[in-house]
Amino acid sequence: MADNKEPKSIEDYMDRVQKKLIEDGLFESEEEFKNYCSKIKKI
C-alpha cells in the first residue's frame, strides 16, 4: 500500500478510512458512510 504515510489531518485520515470501507463493501457510498458517522456523533 503506497498510501501508508502519516495522515495530515483527521479529515485526511477519515477520507482514507471511508475509501477503504467502501472498497471493502461495508458501505455502498460516501453518503451512507456520512449518515453512519452522524449517528455515532449523536451518542
Residue 6 corresponds to which cell in the numbers above? Answer: 502519516
> Is residue 38 domain-resident?
yes
Rounded to two decimals, the pTM is 0.59
Confidence of residue 1 (pLDDT cuts 50, 70, 90): very low
Assigned domain for 3 exists:
no
Q: Which domain holds residue 20?
A: 10-42
Q: CA distances (Å), 12 to each of 6, 9, 16, 43, in order?
A: 9, 5, 6, 23
Mind listing the pLDDT tens digit for each residue in 6-41?
778 988 998 999 999 999 999 999 999 989 888 888
Name the domain count of the chain. 1
